[in-house]
Amino acid sequence: MDLVLRDARVVDGTGGPSYRADVAVSGGRIAAVHRAGAGGPRPDARRVLDASGLALAPGFIDMHAHSDLALLRDPDHSAKAAQGVTLEVLGQDGLSYAPVDEGTLVEVRTQITGWNGGGPGDDRVTFDWRTVGGYLDRLDTAFAGAGYDGEGIAVNAAYLVPQGTVRMHAMGWEDRTPTPAELDHMRRLVAEGLAEGAVGLSSGLTYTPGMYASDAELTDLCRVVASYGGYYCPHHRSYGAGALEAYEEMVALSREAGCALHLAHATMNFGVNEGRAGDLLALLDGALAAGADISLDSYPYTPGATTLVAMLPSWAAEGGPEALLARLTDPATAVRIRTGLEVTGSDGCHGVPIDWETIEISGTANPDLASYVGRTVAASAAARGEEPWTTAVRLLTEDRLGTSILQHVGHEENVRAIMRHRVHTGGSDGILQGAKPHPRAYGTFPHYLGHYVRELGLLSLEECVAHLTSRPAARLRLPDRGLVREGYRADLVLFDPDTVASGATFDAPRTLPTGIPYVLVDGRLTVEDGRRTQVLAGRSVRRTPYRGR
């Protein structure tokens, strides 16, 4: 054996009672689970690690991550590794970097600079792929020859084909119905991405150009996804006014397509949805009772995070980033954008008129704008003696759409109700870009374990671990991950249930957690004694071949 974790409290991911055991690891897999009192010889190995006083769980799976470029430029990646995350799902919200052609790559890099960096002029990553398979291959060899212990990435990564990028590739930024040829092109791109290893399809239906798609168009693409055994992961059309109707739309669409559904960062935000989590859960329970295959993820915080440009009306972005920037500098068009944002409630802001007091700047691509970070748009405007709209336009134009934000619009009672549901999984939605990102990027998983399990008792430890491990593994159709079980991949985390906590706060969002001394990826210690090692054992995790229901 390579390693034995001696006398651990095994929280195995099933949700059942924990137990004491020695767990042996060999060749990247769990070779033996020897329960206390089982009799017979205890396993031995070249190295024995005393795990008494620690809980041993499967590695946590982040079902909604924005580490698409971070994994390629940061071999340490302690933001996730230190949390016990051993697998992230990328390609979220319908926008990522594959599949692309030359023009699409330039535009998507500009559009989501606020999420990932990587905008034009940012040369920290070499964009030497164009297909989904090429991107996954790049993850597998991200740091080859760089002198680390391994050539891959810090943690494993799966990928969703991004529907907005696919639409951009096939028909640009036009708000119209695709031609039959364009729809065939989109179907082909989705099928190719799934054949190359993607686990499903994502959408960002409050982000352009993906939001221009009709339900019929999305249903056609989801039928392709279903044929490969993947799942559909929509950021649906509203999390504010019309949120429940937007959830209903996705449930109906997935039923029509015969496709599994995973609801991204499933929240009920803004004042119109205070106390309405029960309405969402009743909808899900009804669909599940009728045989639907549905799951969801959420983060254990109230504010959201996105980009400032995402707040604008969708019509303003038609034609792409340069067309949007031109509209912001045209006085008549800018008035129209402002009215949609501040008066009627834009589709980008979930149908709710924007409250500039809730919009906190978390990062800028232009270092000359760094003084805005950590302040709301309203506060910055007051300090300058101008209207918030004027401040917002300055940020959008001078930062070339690269400004990231926190949006303080959530409700704690909704967060708590949703995380207790039986199909809930954990997803950080962690944006790592910016000087002051949301603390969920560095703290989601220990925050579940420390605050909601130990401090509040909202979930038992065993139940919470199941939410973060076996449930997401089942959604991803991973036959050998998500449980502490013989033969399974040795992606494991050892933590102290009495001390585990998120160190990240809104004031100090990049603080690492406490109480997680050991993390293994593929049987190798990526965190040891609370410190990140030089091991790069992570790789792309590709869709398991599907043989039908």
Which of 421, 447, 476 is the last residue before a domain boundary? 476
Residue listed under structure tokens 């799966």: 158
* In a shared domain, residues 268 and 331: no
Report how many domains make up the chain: 2
* In a shared domain, residues 297 and 312: no
Residue 93 DSSP one-character state:
G
Q: How far apart are CA 67 and CA 90, in angstroms?
A: 7
DSSP 285-325: HHHHHTT--EEEEE-SSS-EEEEGGGGS-GGGGTT-HHHHH
- 166 assigned to some structural domain: yes
Residue 257: predicted pLDDT? 98
Find out whether the peptide bond into 367 is cis, omega within 30 degrees of 0.
Answer: no
HEC string of 487-530 equals CCECCEEEECCCCCECCCCCCCCCCCCECCCEEEECCEEEEECC
* In a shared domain, residues 280 and 366: no
* In a shared domain, residues 383 and 436: no
- 25 assigned to some structural domain: no
Which of 443, 476, 509 is the last residue before a domain boundary? 476
Q: How far apart are CA 240 and CA 311, in angstroms?
A: 12
* In a shared domain, residues 131 and 246: yes
- 8 assigned to some structural domain: no
**Number of residues that this document lists for the chain:** 549
* In a shared domain, residues 207 and 88: yes
* In a shared domain, residues 354 and 244: no
- 512 assigned to some structural domain: no
- 548 assigned to some structural domain: no
* In a shared domain, residues 294 and 418: yes
Residue 143 makes CB contacts below 8 A (sequence gap 6+) with: 75, 150, 151, 152, 153, 536
Paired sense of beta strands 156-162 and 3-10, if any: unpaired
User: What are the tokens at 424?
Assistant: 């809930």
Q: How far apart are CA 462 and CA 485, in angstroms?
A: 15
* In a shared domain, residues 133 and 212: yes
Domain residue limits at 131: 58-301+409-476
Residue listed under structure tokens 């009215």: 339
Residue 465 makes CB contacts below 8 A (sequence gap 6+) with: 11, 13, 15, 57, 58
Give phi and psi for 290, each to the nearest 5.
-85, 0
What are the CA-CA distances from residue 159 to residues 63, 197, 221, 534, 541 (Å)? 10, 8, 16, 24, 8
* In a shared domain, residues 96 and 200: yes
Structural contact between residues 214 and 175, judged by C-beta atoms closer than 8 angstroms:
no
Residue 545: predicted pLDDT? 65
Counting runs of H as helices and runs of E as strands, what totals does the chain give? 18, 22
- Residue 279's SS3 state is helix
- 244 assigned to some structural domain: yes
Q: What is the pTM of this model?
A: 0.96
* In a shared domain, residues 215 and 329: no
Residue 121: predicted pLDDT? 87
pLDDT tens across 162-207, in order? Answer: 999 999 999 999 999 999 999 999 999 999 999 999 999 999 999 9
Residue 318 makes CB contacts below 8 A (sequence gap 6+) with: 173, 174, 175, 208, 209, 212
Which of 377, 406, 435 is the last residue before a domain boundary? 406
- 542 assigned to some structural domain: no
Structural contact between residues 259 and 226, judged by C-beta atoms closer than 8 angstroms:
yes
* In a shared domain, residues 204 and 120: yes
Half-sphere exposure of 294 (CA within 13 A, CB side): 26
- 455 assigned to some structural domain: yes
pLDDT tens across 250-309, in order? Answer: 999 999 999 999 999 999 999 999 999 999 999 999 999 999 999 999 999 999 999 999
Give ∠ CA 7-87-465 in degrees, rounded to 5: 45
pLDDT below 70 — which residues of the chain? 545-549
Supply the CATH number for residue 158's domain.
3.20.20.140
Which secondary structure element, helix H or strand E, spans residue 34, and what is its range? strand 29-35
What are the CA-CA distances from residue 546 to residues 88, 198, 226 (Å)? 21, 12, 10
Find out whether the peptide bond into 446 is cis, omega within 30 degrees of 0.
Answer: no
Q: How far apart are CA 173 and CA 110, in angstroms?
A: 14
Paired sense of beta strands 65-66 and 430-431, if any: parallel
